Amino acid sequence: MAVEIKKVSKEELDTQRGFVSKVSSLMKSRYEDKPLACVVTYGCQQNVADSEHIKGMLEEMGYAFTDDRTKAKLVIFNTCAVREHAEDRVFGNVGALKKYKLQNPDVIIALCGCMMQQKHIADKIKKSFPFVDLVFGTHVVHKLPELLYKALTGKRRVFELPDMDGVIAEGVPVKRDNDRKAWIPIMYGCNNFCSYCIVPYVRGRERSREVEDVVAEFKCLVKEGYKEITLLGQNVNSYGKDLNPRVSFSKLLRILNDLDGDFRIRFMTSHPKDCTKELIETMAECDKVATHLHLPFQSGNDRVLKAMNRSYTREKYLSLINYAKELMGDELSITSDIIVGFPGETYEEFLDTVSLAKEIKATSLFTFIYSPRPGTPAAEMDDPVPYEEKSRWMRQLLKVQEEISAEQMALHKGKTFKCFVYAKGKQGDNYLAARTDGNLIIEFEGDEGLIGSFQKIKVTEPLTYVMLGELERNDI
């Protein structure tokens, strides 16, 4: 049953625009030149998209930008809570600014994102990092102008961490990191409650943007010349379940695919329990939708999957992959996520994950050793296997996947792909990096003026995780 989507009201957005003007005036009175802001982003693409909105608001408030934290008058850390390592990095990097803040008391240090939405983290910031001026959660990013104004003019630290399921704010300005590829969040939050994952607790319940809002933003990007546009959501397959009338993710893809223009559509992330044959058929039939399926399986063992609360079986996962291969053949590229050493997992159960990796033959895997997240069910489970043993399992899996990746790449020698040239390459000074429809990377020698365009590239030498190629005559 569809539920009412709580949008930020026009009145609230107007209020924030008023604070934009107040901060802008304040900056002009305090500094001769535009003050510099440094926005540091951790974690997923959703955080990257949030940071682009943060920078959009800051630009309107009169800030320019720098990557050097020690030159900034405002430093914002947009944090990730998915793994402990990311949290440790945040604490270390924030702590490193203590001396800078003491020497420059007018500098504002702010923290936002998923870490901050956890009470024990916010409490630690209050107690152990008194030089942090502003902390705000995932549900109030649109209120940055008001919160920043309070931090700049008040004598108290500002903490804005409401406990809520979240809202959708349309019309927030965006300063994109790239002028040819872009992110579009189409939904926020998650309802899945995988037992190891903190995301539903810090991002709130699922809420979809209205179709017309997504289409309007997409059209603007195409008009502005963007070539690769990635649709984002914690689980894009759940898009539209809360809309009235309901619109499936597959339907949204078809609507966007039918728009005029030369562009490619990508999406992430998909959850196997909601991945349908309809979605796979849409990928196969829509010429502008990339034939790359990122479908995390996390474990190849049914008992572990049940303990993870993943709501699918190994057989169900394989049936989806096999159907996708049947429809898209060699054009399909599969990537996936794996957690090694989930609490209670045995070596024999881990070997089921290895065997599944061998069966699906993914071009690459994103593998992680289990990291306990306080507040999740898995954090309370018995976990008898030592970290050193889990590390050994990880090395075994990585070795297997390295061989698979090399085999998959070798299949493409001599083939020509339509590629999006997105950056300078790493193989040499004159190399450019391009991405195929299936998300494979080809590096080739070429002029930097090709960056941001589609080109035909022939594979000359497949390596393990990248391929070398040469530019063909472009008649795309």
Q: pLDDT tens-digit profile of 52-88? A: 999 999 999 999 999 999 999 999 999 999 888 889 9
Per-residue pLDDT of 401-425, as tens digits, reads: 999 999 999 999 999 999 999 999 9
Q: Tokens for 429, please give them.
A: 């000074």
Q: In degrees, to the nearest 5, what angle opens at C-alpha 331 toward C-alphas 325 and 337?
A: 65
Q: How confident is the model at residue 376 (pLDDT cuts 50, 70, 90)?
A: very high
The residues near 313 (Cβ < 8 Å, ≥ 6 apart) are 302, 305
Lowest mean pLDDT among 95-104, 232-241, 386-395, 464-473: 464-473
Q: How far is CA 262 from the centre of its chain?
A: 24
Alpha carbon of 245 to those of 2, 37, 213: distances in Å? 8, 42, 15
Has residue 255 got a pLDDT over 50? yes
Q: How confident is the model at residue 400 (pLDDT cuts 50, 70, 90)?
A: very high
pLDDT of residue 330: 87
As a whole number, mean pLDDT of residues 111-129 equals: 95
Q: How many CA atoms lie within 13 A of 278 on its CB side?
A: 10
As a whole number, mean pLDDT of residues 439-463 equals: 95
Per-residue pLDDT of 35-56, as tens digits, reads: 999 999 999 999 999 999 999 9
Helix (H) or strand (E) holding 352: helix 347-360
Q: How confident is the model at residue 475 (pLDDT cuts 50, 70, 90)?
A: low
Locate the DSSP E strands across 176-221: 181-185, 187-188, 207-208
Contact present, 137 and 162 (Cβ < 8 Å): yes
Q: What is the spatial distance between Cα 81 and Cα 140, in angstroms, rounded to a whole number?
A: 17
Q: How confident is the model at residue 4 (pLDDT cuts 50, 70, 90)?
A: low
As a whole number, mean pLDDT of residues 376-402 equals: 97
pTM for the predicted model, two decimal places: 0.94
CB neighbour class for 348 (10 Å; exposed up to 12, middle 13-18, buried from 19):
exposed
As a whole number, mean pLDDT of residues 259-263 equals: 96
Has residue 89 got a pLDDT over 50? yes
Has residue 5 got a pLDDT over 90? no
The residues near 242 (Cβ < 8 Å, ≥ 6 apart) are 2, 3, 5, 206, 207, 208
Per-residue pLDDT of 191-238, as tens digits, reads: 999 999 999 999 999 999 999 999 999 999 999 999 999 999 999 999
pLDDT of residue 1: 38
Has residue 3 got a pLDDT over 50? no
pLDDT of residue 2: 42
pLDDT of residue 283: 97
Alpha helices in 31-109 (DSSP H): 45-60, 84-95, 98-103
- What the chain holds in terms of domains, given with CATH numbers, is 10-160 (3.40.50.12160), 178-290 (3.30.750.210), 291-411 (3.30.750.200), 416-471 (2.40.50.140)
As a whole number, mean pLDDT of residues 277-304 equals: 97
In this structure, which long-range contacts are made by residues 94-103, counting pairs with CB atoms below 8 Å and at least 24 apart in sequence? 94/129, 94/132, 95/129, 97/69, 97/131, 98/129, 98/131, 100/69, 100/70, 101/131, 102/131
pLDDT of residue 163: 84
Q: In degrees, to the nearest 5, what angle opens at C-alpha 118 toward C-alphas 116 and 122?
A: 55
As a whole number, mean pLDDT of residues 351-371 equals: 96
pLDDT of residue 254: 98
Tokens 């994109």 belong to which residue? 176
Q: What is the spatial distance between Cα 250 and Cα 241, in angstroms, rounded to a whole number?
A: 12
